[in-house]
Structure 1
Amino acid sequence: MVITAKTVGDLFDLLERKPDLLVDADLTVERDGIAFTVRGYDDLVAVDLPSFGAAFALWRDRSVTGTDAATALAAAGLTAELRVRGAPVARLGEDAVPSRLAKRLGLGPIELFVDGALLALTPQRE
């Protein structure tokens, strides 16, 4: 299938006319020397990064705003969950419930998990 859209609005229009997507993926991605995993479980895509530094770099270098990404994911019936060291720290898309903290920080319709962030910051025990 070839999708031709010239604007984000055109892409949203195309996605709204399509049935929800299901994703089945198990990838290891390397970007700027940092490896992370992307796993798809039907309507959830989990991106697991090794550190908050890697998460902030990915967020800083994103090509679309959080609002546009959340809207596109929701239109496709998908949810993306950002994890750091296996702990969920943020979610956007279909099943995300935007948090007040994210709104105050100007992050858009993103659900933040403070408990997941604390868990991700905890040193690993052997």
Structure 2
Amino acid sequence: MVTTAKAVGDLFDLIERKPDLLVDADLTVERDGVAFTVRGYDDLVAVDLPSLGAAFSLWRDRPVQGRSVAAALAAAGLTAEIRVRGAPVARLGADAVPSPLAKRLGFGPVQLFLDGALLAITPRRG
């Protein structure tokens, strides 16, 4: 049986030998009864969730550590942007600029957008 660390290391080795990836996707994904969208625009993958709680749940239950995900995305030339109701709340991967807050919270190489988080928790009108 292959350990997760070995499998992730093998994935990094494979990705580093390949040219940058481009993603073209338009998906609706359902996880634990919560639907969200995943859209790929060349080197950006946008994951749009319906609530901040759904974003935290997705982060908490990820199969690999955030640092490994960010490193794998960067090695592939990809950036993932996590959005809540269309407002960007986090970015990781090639174009992410790690924020001091993310470092303090132990999130690793993740860029957090506080203004996006504020928009995400603001109730919608109408």
Same fold by TM (over 0.5)? Answer: yes
Structure 2 residue 100 is matched with structure 1 residue 100: yes
Could you list the structure 1 runs, at least 4 aligned residues long, displaced by more than 6 angstroms after superposition: none
**Residue of structure 2 in register with 1:63 after alignment:** 63
**Residue of structure 1 in register with 2:54 after alignment:** 54
Quote the offset at 1:107 in angstroms: 0.4
**Residue of structure 2 in register with 1:3 after alignment:** none
Quote the offset at 1:28 in angstroms: 0.3
Quote the offset at 1:111 in angstroms: 0.1
How much identity, in percent, do the aligned residues show?
A: 83
CA deviations on 1:75-104 (whole Å, 9 max, x unpaired) are 000000000011000000000000000000
- Distance (whole Å) between structure 2 residues aligned to residue 68 and residue 54 of structure 1: 21
Q: Tell me the number of residue pairs that the alignment of Structure 1 and Structure 2 aligns.
A: 121
Q: Structure 1 unaligned runs (5+)?
A: 1-5
- Distance (whole Å) between structure 2 residues aligned to residue 32 and residue 91 of structure 1: 23
- Distance (whole Å) between structure 1 residues aligned to residue 104 and residue 60 of structure 2: 18
User: What secondary structure, in the 3-state scheme, does the structure 1 residue paired with 2:21 have?
Assistant: coil
User: What secondary structure, in the 3-state scheme, does the structure 2 residue paired with 1:7 have?
Assistant: helix
CA deviations on 1:12-41 (whole Å, 9 max, x unpaired) are 111011000000000000000000000000
- Report the AA paired with residue 7 of structure 1: A
**Residue of structure 1 in register with 2:81 after alignment:** 81
Quote the offset at 1:123 in angstroms: 1.0
**Residue of structure 1 in register with 2:24 after alignment:** 24
